[in-house]
Every structure is written in structure tokens, then in C-alpha cells.
Structure 1
Amino acid sequence: MIREAEPEDLEEVYELWLELMRYHQSHHVMFAINPRKVELQKDELLSRIRGKRSRILVFEQDGELVGMINVSMRDASEVFKLHRKGYIAETVVQDKYRGSGIGEELFGAAKKWLLDMGADHIEAQVSVQNPGAQRFWQAQGFSPSTQHIILDLREEKRK
């Protein structure tokens, strides 16, 4: 069953988010978690749960949250034809449930919510080190438009 996350789901939502970050930590340092900032991340997730222009949708099975998708509306400049941006962030399905259609169902619910909010397109970021996720999003109709690149400046600051 797909539903909107509630504040009382915060701990389970955080655990799903943490599972996703742990998986991606081997992809790039940007996914490394500061263990002293757990409450800060929980506050961020709670603001997304309570937000007027954001939702965290969860897939619940047998009383357990086994997947989630984080979705929001972000307006861009009206100079662009596509300026009512729907944005999909953290999307995760527990490993043992992958391939069962939960991801597609979560995306379908997120897409409907974004359409209802007036989105004219949807954007998402996918790790270049995660070919499974790239295939998943392409199967949902997404195509690459830009490449998100990062330069870690921590070493520069130490010089």
C-alpha cells in the first residue's frame, strides 16, 4: 500500500534514507554521512513530510515501510518553457523487495502527485555509479539531459 508518510513514520523513513546513503557511499564521497548530524537529517525529512510542496510517499507492507520516494515542486525561471519542475530525490526500496514492482508503483504515485500540483516536467539525479537505477529511471521514461559533476575542495583548503 502506498501512502503519504506521517510524522510518526520518521524513524522508519530515516532508516530507509540511511540504507540508500550507505549503498551510495562507495559511489562518491558526497554520500558520506556525518554521524553527529543525525538529528539534522531527521529534521529535514520531517520538513519534507510536513511540507506544502513536498511529500515523502512510502510503500507499506505488513506494517513495515519497505520503500519510499521523496518528491517536491520547485519553480524555475519562467524564461524556460518547462518551469514547473517536479523533483524526485531519495528513492529506495529495501533490497529484498527490489524487482517486485514497488519502485514503479512509488513513481506512479509521485508522478500523479506532481501532475496534480501542476508540474510540467520531472527531474531526478541518478548516480553514474548505479547502472541499475539508471535502467530503472530510463524504463520510467526519463532521459539524460545534463551531468551533475562535483569537485571536492577539502584537499585544496588544507594546502
Structure 2
Amino acid sequence: MVVWTLRNARRSDLPVLQSFWHQMMDLHRELDARFRFDADVDRDVKRHLLEAIGSRHALVLVAEVEGQVVGYTLGWLHERRPIYPAGRYGFISDLFVMPIWRRQGIGRGLVAGMLEWFAKRDVTDIELFVAEANAGAQAFWQAMGFEPFLRLMRRPIRRETTP
């Protein structure tokens, strides 16, 4: 059985976190070609991760095995007022574990760490998005106690030219 530990991400983890983000998005792109990104994606991902690492409204947790970062998760605190009565809720935007380290409890551990962080901040509910084509992720999140709630639907605008 593998021994892993969790810790808060540091700025020095940024290169590996960016690599993990790209691997996560490559998987999504293989599942659905609509996952595509603009030319500034590297700059934007770096900015996004740095903002999260330095924010008291976000948590970036990393999992390590023998000092090597093998996975991460990113969660944010959000407010839903005044429209919805739920108040403060958590949003998990990222979860990634290197393929060779999957099915060893690391993903579950990262999620448990995130849930604990949310609970200490009086969060009532936690939300996340799962790609429709990612059956493995859907099964994982349902095993973690998440249930389908809303379905995001998309339709491209087709610009037709008239003669």
C-alpha cells in the first residue's frame, strides 16, 4: 500500500500543477473536441493557480508520495446571495491524480481534505462540473456522495452568411 501525504500547494509547485492541468484538459479534449483553449491558456492557468494559492477564499491541496507531487485539487468559496438561500457554498474546480498513482485512495484523500476545509468555513453545499463524456469521473464523484443537480447544455451560434 502506498503512503501519501497532503499539504497546501506552494508557489514552487506551480510548474507541476500547470502540467497536471494540461494533462487533465488533454483527457477532456480526447473525450470531447469542444474542450479547446486559446493561445494564452498557459498564462491564464498560471495566473489562476497563483491567485488560488494566495487566496483565503481558495484551497489548492497537493498529494505527495516520497516527496513527489502526484496529484492536486482546487476548491473555491462562493456566495450565492441574494437569489438562492443556500448562502456560502464550495466549488471544486480541479482534481487530478497522475495515472500511475490512481486507484490508491489519493483522489479520495484529496477530496476528503477539501471537504474538511469547506466544513471549517461553514459551507452548506459543494458543487462541481463533470464532463458528460467522462463516465469515470461521474462514477468517482457519485461514489464520493455527489449527486446530479443541474445539467449544463450548450449550443453553438451558427453565423450564416446571406448573399
CA distance in 2 between counterparts of 1:65 and 1:152 reads 38
SS at match of 2:130: coil
Query: Is 1:54 aligned to 2:58, yes or no?
Result: yes
Amino acid of the structure 2 residue aligned with 1:21: M
Gapped regions of structure 2 (runs ≥ 5): none
Q: Tell me what 2:81 maps to.
A: 77
Kindly indicate whether the alpha-carbon contact (under 8 Å) linking 1:21 and 1:33 is maintained by their aligned counterparts in 2. no
Aligned length: 157
Unaligned runs of at least 5 residues, structure 1: none
> Paired residue for 1:91, among 95, 114, 124?
95
CA shift at 1:69, angstroms? 0.7
Deviations 1:34-93 (A, max 9, x none): 344312221111111111100111101122211111101000024534221110011111
Of 104-113 and 40-49, more deviation after overlay is shown by 40-49
Q: Does 1:143 align with 2:147?
A: yes
- Bigger Rg, structure 1 or 2: 2
- 1:16 — aligned with what? 20
Q: In 1, Cα distance between the equivalents of 2:110 and 2:38?
A: 28
What's the offset of the Cα at 1:158?
Answer: 6.8
* CA distance 1:53–1:36, shift in 2 (3 Å): closer
SS in 2 for 1:71: strand
Partner of 2:131: 127
Stretch moving more, 93-102 or 80-89: 80-89
Task: Write the distance in 2 (CA, Å) between the matches of 1:51 and 1:31.
Answer: 27
Q: Is the 8 A contact 1:87 1:123 kept in 2?
A: yes
CA contact (8 A) 1:58 1:68 kept: yes
Amino acid at match of 1:126: V
Flag the structure with higher helix content.
1
RMSD, aligned α-carbons: 1.6
Supply the AA of the counterpart residue of 1:4. Answer: N
The aligned amino acid for 2:136 is G
**Separation in 2 of the partners of 1:93 and 1:157?**
40
| Cα deviations by residue, 1:87-137 (Å, 9 ceiling, x for unpaired) | 001111111111110011000000000011110110011111111111111
2:118 to 94, 114, 120: 114
TM-score (norm 2): 0.89
